[in-house]
């Protein structure tokens, strides 16, 4: 799981004096892609020193806090792609950068998107401005306050004895399978969402839900709440337009599955570990 130690990342939205410069991390996004540098085979965000040499325009800039003692910023920039640097979407970073930096890049992307999509009040239409005390946008006209959006969703591995149910979304490559997932609807508990999503996506009934853990996931703005659940009945019926295929697998015949940087990978790995235990 991602390094969630107290000193790994300390969030803050008020920049201390002298923080912006030198080796500060700059998570700079141009056309939805992160500007990266390659260092000893791994991808990393650029630094404040690197950024000085780029011919780009800063549309917005936000102090995120400190990661391992280094200040970190999220930026939205425009201009020509910088020579000598890579531009990658966040999915392309999975497994190619330090896991903690990936999650920090996800945080940065969500802050940039939130700021750019809340320039005007959704209630009265007037201009919004940064809140004086919180990371929020406030309408000076009607007082509406918008914080960065977070969308809770469930992700669940359904098991049947030594088997696990894995499914392929209609938009995924042919060989990629994963656990079931879906967003929480208004008025639902997390447990109700698990039962509803499993029934909707594959037509199965489950029981004995066991909470596993959570993961921030910027595709988009999600807080993934992971569960294991046991099959109790029903035949697989894939949701039209959503699930292309769903099958029961054992640890010995697994298809292509998500990497261990994703909570779906953790859920599968934990189930397999339990099967291997004496």
pLDDT tens, position by position, 222-277: 999 999 999 999 999 999 999 999 999 999 999 999 888 889 999 999 999 988 76
Q: Both 14 and 69 in a single domain?
A: yes
SS3 80: coil
Give Cβ neighbours of residue 169 (< 8 Å, ≥ 6 apart): 178, 242, 243, 244
Q: Both 267 and 156 in a single domain?
A: yes
- Domain of 251, in residue numbers: 151-276
Q: Both 110 and 204 in a single domain?
A: no
From 116, 141, 166, the end of a domain falls on 116
Please indicate, yes or no, if residue 259 is contained in any of the structural domains: yes
pLDDT tens, position by position, 206-237: 999 999 999 999 988 999 999 999 999 999 99
Q: Both 60 and 169 in a single domain?
A: no
CATH code, 265: 3.90.79.10
Q: Tell me, yes or no, if the pTM score tops 0.85.
A: yes
**What whole-number distance in Å separates Cα of residue 180 and Cα of residue 177?**
10
What is the tally of structural domains in the chain? 2
């Amino acid at each position: 799981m991602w390094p969630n130690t107290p000193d790994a990342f300390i969030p803050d939205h008020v920049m201390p004096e002298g923080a912006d410069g030198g080796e500060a991390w700059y998570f700079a996004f141009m056309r939805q892609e992160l500007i990266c540098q390659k260092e000893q085979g791994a991808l990393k965000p650029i630094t404040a020193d690197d950024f000085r040499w780029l011919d780009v325009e800063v549309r917005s800039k936000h102090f995120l806090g400190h990661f391992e003692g280094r200040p970190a910023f999220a930026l939205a920039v425009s201009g020509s792609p910088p020579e000598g640097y890579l531009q990658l979407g966040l999915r392309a970073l999975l497994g190619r950068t330090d896991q903690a930096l990936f999650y920090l890049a996800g945080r940065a992307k969500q802050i940039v998107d939130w700021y750019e999509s809340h320039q005007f009040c959704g209630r009265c239409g007037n201009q919004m401005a940064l809140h004086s005390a919180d990371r929020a946008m406030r309408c000076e006209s009607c007082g509406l306050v918008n914080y960065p959006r977070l969308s809770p969703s469930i992700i669940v591995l359904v098991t049947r004895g030594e088997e696990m149910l894995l499914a392929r979304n209609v938009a995924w490559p042919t060989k990629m399978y994963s656990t079931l997932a879906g967003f929480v609807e208004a008025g639902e508990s997390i447990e109700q969402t698990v039962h509803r999503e499993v029934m909707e996506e594959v037509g199965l009934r489950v029981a004995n839900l066991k909470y596993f853990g959570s993961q921030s996931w910027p595709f988009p703005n999600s807080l993934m709440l992971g569960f294991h659940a046991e099959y109790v009945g029903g035949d697989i019926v894939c949701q039209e337009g959503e699930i292309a295929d769903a099958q029961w697998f054992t640890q010995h015949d697994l298809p292509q599955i998500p990497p261990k940087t994703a909570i779906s990978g953790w859920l599968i790995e934990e189930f397999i570990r339990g099967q291997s235990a004496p």
